[in-house]
């Protein structure tokens, strides 16, 4: 039986939809226990602000900013603001097929950021973050706070229609239902994901992409890239709303990176490859849906951090040494040897374990959602890797990423070596693999 993508990728739009899948066996009164966000640790205070960027011919883009600020003793902002607590918290539970009150205790917990705090003097690198499919833009608040405290401006972008319900001044932009939309042929997807060896997986790729064409996911990929570039354009051309002008003035567009979780991570890699302004990309466990990034050497440095595929495979089966993610971001004939592409696996976590919610105190239900690893350790591992990578490639502060990774027993550096075993008679899949000349 083919496993539902909701369990694998919190997408639920390719082999089944949230509405059609059997709900997990969660207690009807279950809610995630409240947790504390880790201390950010940087020298700056943290400001936060929400604003909206109009888009010609489309829904406005709601943005949540975290930025370096002067320190203050004012009360910190809650994890979700009042409108998000009312609209988005139940939508998150609905989209993930959790009990309706699952996020209630998490929504109100205090953060380390202060609403409308005065920005610190200086110019700071700009990061644009994209959430996962059907998820919410504050899902990695711990990472945003750490980066802001260390001198980065972070804009987390809510992608209209593909995010958990977005509250606006005019109402709500709801999550678009997958019901009634074209679904790809699961057998053609599985032929790639479940291929028995490298040769069979490569042979299956053309039909894999053909199955996806015309469906929701590739349409969303185009929209998300456009959203990311529209926000970058607005910053560069000084078109942010008045309440964000001081942040806009402090954002250094010449030190720009795109990052995200799940579909947001793969969309960020795709957007960065096409946007010469983008210096680096971070993908937190997002299967790459851009076919042009297969059998291709990436233009920019990229870091991929994955959940524990040996225990919780996100897309298709995987072995200790192989995952289907290996086929993206490098040329196949020298995969595993690209010095600016980094791949790491975090032990003991599922796909959702790469969000803040892994910090929730452990219990049997929580462990089924996120994996049994200590959430505080996981967040420290991920945040340290992301900061180190961005410091080196975006902020121009030289670092040794592999040395940092080696500090953590739960972090495994991975090289995409298996797919180098191709034969001379095998050729790149013209028009499908997207190989660069």
Tokens read off for 388? 């180190």
Characterize 311-322 residue by residue with b for buried, 16 or more Cβ atoms within 10 angstroms of its Cβ, and e for exposed. Answer: ebbbbbebeeeb
> Which contacts qualify for 119-122: CB closer than 8 Å, 24 or more apart?
119/47, 119/67, 119/68, 119/69, 119/70, 119/246, 119/247, 119/250, 120/44, 120/45, 120/67, 120/68, 120/69, 120/70, 122/68, 122/151, 122/250
**Whole-angstrom distance, CA of residue 343 vs CA of residue 150:** 24
Provide the pLDDT for residue 26: 84
Task: Tell me the β-bridge partners of 115.
Answer: 48
**What's the sign of the alpha-carbon dihedral 385, 370, 261, 119?**
negative
Provide the pLDDT for residue 154: 98
Q: What is the DSSP letter of 353?
A: G
Domains annotated for the chain, with CATH where assigned, are 33-420 (3.40.50.1820)
Segments of the chain with pLDDT less than 50: 1-22, 422-437
At what angle are helices 216-236 and 263-274 packed, to 10 degrees?
A: 60
Q: Are the beta carbons of 145 and 65 closer than 8 angstroms?
A: no
At what angle are helices 186-193 and 198-212 packed, to 10 degrees?
A: 150
Task: Write down the mean pLDDT value for the chain.
Answer: 89
The four Cα atoms 192, 306, 90, 227 give a dihedral, to 10 degrees, of -80
**Whole-angstrom distance, CA of residue 33 vs CA of residue 101:** 11
DSSP letters spanning 230-268? HHHHHHHTT-S-GGGHHHHHHEEEEEEEEEEETHHHHHH
Q: Are the beta carbons of 132 and 65 closer than 8 angstroms?
A: no
Pairing of the two strands 45-53 and 251-261: unpaired
Tokens read off for 339? 């010095």
| 109, 220, 351, 385, 429 from 263: Cα distances, Å | 26, 9, 11, 20, 24
Closest CA to 24 of 306, 330, 352: 352
| 294, 299, 352, 358, 412 from 335: Cα distances, Å | 11, 15, 27, 31, 17
The radius of gyration of the chain's CA atoms, rounded to the nearest angstrom, is 20
Provide the pLDDT for residue 19: 33
Provide the pLDDT for residue 179: 59
Tokens read off for 95? 């989209």
Provide the pLDDT for residue 202: 92
- The whole-angstrom distance between residue 332's C-alpha and the CA centroid of its chain comes to 24
pTM value is 0.92
**Whole-angstrom distance, CA of residue 136 vs CA of residue 162:** 9
Give 64's contacts (C-beta < 8 A, 6+ positions apart).
48, 49, 50, 137, 138, 155, 156, 158
Q: Are the beta carbons of 346 and 371 closer than 8 angstroms?
A: no
**What's the sign of the alpha-carbon dihedral 314, 84, 219, 97?**
positive
Provide the pLDDT for residue 183: 78
For residue range 62-87, what is the model confidence (pLDDT) as tens digits? 999 999 999 999 999 999 999 999 99
For residue range 126-183, what is the model confidence (pLDDT) as tens digits? 999 999 999 999 999 999 999 999 999 999 999 999 999 999 888 899 999 765 567 7
Closest CA to 92 of 131, 145, 66: 131
Provide the pLDDT for residue 56: 86
Alpha helices in 58-213 (DSSP H): 82-95, 104-107, 141-149, 186-193, 198-212
Provide the pLDDT for residue 117: 98
| 173, 186, 216, 222, 315 from 206: Cα distances, Å | 35, 14, 18, 20, 17
């Amino acid at each position: 039986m083919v496993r539902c993508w909701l369990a694998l990728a919190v997408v639920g739009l390719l082999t089944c939809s949230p509405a059609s899948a059997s709900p997990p066996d969660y207690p009807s009164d279950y809610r995630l226990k409240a947790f504390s966000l880790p201390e950010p640790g940087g020298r700056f205070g943290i400001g936060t602000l929400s604003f909206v960027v109009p888009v010609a011919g489309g829904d406005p883009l709601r943005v949540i900013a975290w930025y370096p600020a002067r320190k203050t003793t004012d009360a910190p902002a809650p994890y979700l603001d009042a409108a998000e607590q009312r609209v988005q918290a139940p939508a998150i539970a609905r989209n993930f097929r959790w009990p309706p009150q699952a996020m209630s205790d998490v929504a109100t917990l205090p953060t380390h950021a202060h609403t409308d705090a005065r920005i610190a003097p200086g110019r700071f690198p700009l990061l644009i973050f994209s959430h996962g499919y059907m998820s919410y833009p504050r899902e990695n608040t711990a990472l945003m706070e750490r980066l802001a405290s260390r001198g980065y401006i972070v804009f987390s972008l809510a992608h209209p229609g593909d995010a958990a319900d977005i509250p606006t001044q005019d109402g709500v932009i709801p999550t678009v239902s997958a019901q009634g939309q074209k679904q790809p042929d699961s057998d053609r997807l599985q032929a790639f994901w479940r291929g028995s060896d490298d040769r069979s997986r490569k042979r299956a790729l053309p039909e894999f992409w053909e199955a996806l064409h015309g469906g929701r996911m590739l349409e969303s990929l185009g929209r998300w890239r456009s959203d990311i570039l529209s926000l970058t354009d607005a910053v560069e051309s000084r078109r942010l709303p008045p309440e964000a002008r001081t942040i806009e003035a402090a954002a250094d567009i010449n030190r720009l990176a795109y990052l995200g979780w799940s579909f947001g991570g793969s969309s960020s890699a795709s957007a960065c490859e096409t946007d010469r302004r983008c210096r680096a990309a971070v993908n937190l466990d997002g299967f790459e849906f851009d076919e042009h990034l297969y059998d291709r050497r990436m233009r920019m440095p990229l870091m991929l951090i994955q959940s524990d595929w040996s225990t919780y495979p996100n897309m298709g089966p995987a072995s200790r040494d192989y995952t289907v993610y290996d086929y993206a971001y490098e040329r196949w004939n020298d995969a595993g040897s690209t010095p600016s592409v980094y791949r790491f696996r975090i032990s003991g976590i599922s796909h959702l374990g790469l969000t803040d919610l892994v910090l929730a105190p452990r219990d049997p239900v929580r462990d089924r959602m996120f994996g049994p690893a200590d959430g505080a350790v996981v967040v420290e591992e991920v945040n340290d890797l992301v900061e180190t990578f961005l410091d080196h490639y975006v902020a121009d502060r030289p670092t040794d990423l592999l040395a940092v990774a080696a500090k953590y027993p739960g972090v495994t550096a991975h090289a995409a070596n298996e797919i180098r075993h191709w034969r001379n008679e095998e050729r790149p899949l013209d028009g499908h693999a997207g190989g660069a000349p």
